[in-house]
Amino acid sequence: MKTFSQQLQESLADRQSQGLYRSRKTLASAQGTEVRVNDKTLINFCSNDYLGLANHPEVVAACKRGLDYYGTGSGASHLVVGHSHAHHALEEELAAFTGRSRALLFSSGYMANLGVLTSLASKKDCVFEDKLNHASLLDGGLFSGAVFKRFPHLDLDQLASLLNKQLAYDKRFIVSDGVFSMDGDFADLPGLVSVAERFQSQLMLDDAHGFGVLGKKGGGLVEYYRDQGYDINENNLPILVGTLGKAFGTQGAFIAGSEALIENLIQYCRSYIYTTAISPALAEATRTSLQLIQKENWRREHLQALITAFRSRCQVLGYLLTDSMTPIQGLLLGDTEKSLQASRLLENEGIFVTAIRPPTVPQGTARLRITFSASHTPEQLDLLLAALEKIQPLLYQEQENAAG
């Protein structure tokens, strides 16, 4: 009989043999468009710091003021003695930002998504999720105990068909990412609202990658569609989730919705009740980043200019990209080893881009996940494109030799 240690070693060996072994790289610098990684200075094209706020002087200064006033840690959960004025003020400001009655802070996006579904859904209910939803949304649906159904990516006809067969359940939850984290495309929110109303279902949207990036003032996918004349509010989209570790440049997450929703989460959501609150200093930093998101529209404009130029050049080079006009640009290579090779070759050229492989993405869709920041310069974009042009023959050489 194999020992526990032998079983663990075999599991790791199996992961390595499939080219799916994950290794961490150590960052020895502040987050930014240039980072020091494993003793190399690289141009960073794989961060979720979409607006360049993670090391913004005003955000850093706000965090330092918070440290001077509150110290480093919150000391407890929100319901014991960890809920500071900084947390409370941030919640009120996030509620105003999203146009909702209340907002509730969580320590991470994973905890928010896991908590809301496990506290609101039960075995008497049914949860319907897009197949490309983030793992935290899928886990929340699975762990809730509700009947769990997945529909093909963005296929609202199939969603409606599934809903039509599950009308006997007490509650039906439709759950979707706003901007999908690996492809960079986004949900048809008006269509989801329509389906939810038709089948009397509760709609939940995780707009982790949309906040700060989409909408005239960075209000995310809801604001993007409102700008087009759609009325989306806390009645027809009752559960709205956002994270603070991406465009906000800090840490944590929030859920925004009605007074009743937030009070229910405070009473029943285990991942909120039983965890220590984020540092008050980080809450103060986030308050400043929230102000910058709303007033500095040039960041979104610059991002779109970078994305448009990148996509245009990749088309000329013959690279296949995911259908995205967000900072997430998936450069599809299909083969796991080829994606790893591409990441290594780019690193040799001074470019930091990670390879994304199954099970994070479906089999046959391994890729480079290239992400842009408002802090990237046109010169850095040119260096990325030059590197992609240089490595392309190396990536396809083996395939061409086999064909020959």
Contacts for 40 with CB less than 8 Å, ≥ 6 apart = 347, 350
Question: 59 and 249 in contact (C-beta within 8 Å)?
Answer: yes
Cα–Cα distance for residue pair 399/404, rounded to 1 Å: 9
Which is catalytic among the residues 56, 78, 134, 246?
A: 246
What is the CB neighbour count within 10 angstroms for residue 164? Answer: 10
Which is catalytic among the residues 87, 209, 302, 338?
A: 209
Assigned token pair, 227: 């700008």
Question: 252 and 286 in contact (C-beta within 8 Å)?
Answer: yes
Question: Exposure string (b/e) for 127-150, b if CB count within 10 Å is 16 or more?
Answer: bbbbebbbebbbbbbeebebbbbb
Q: Which stretches does DSSP call E strand in 179-281? A: 202-206, 239-243, 253-257
Which is catalytic among the residues 107, 119, 136, 181?
A: 181
Assigned token pair, 335: 């083969």
Q: Which stretches does DSSP call E strand in 319-401? A: 320-321, 328-334, 351-352, 355-356, 366-371
Query: Among candidates 159, 140, 160, 161, which has minimal Cα distance to 150?
Result: 159
Question: 391 and 342 in contact (C-beta within 8 Å)?
Answer: yes
Residue 194: phi and psi, rounded to 5, are: -65, -45
Is 181 considered catalytic here?
yes
Cα torsion 314, 320, 322, 324 to 10°: value is 20
Strands 126-130 and 172-177: parallel
Q: Which positions are annotated as active-site residues?
A: 181, 209, 246
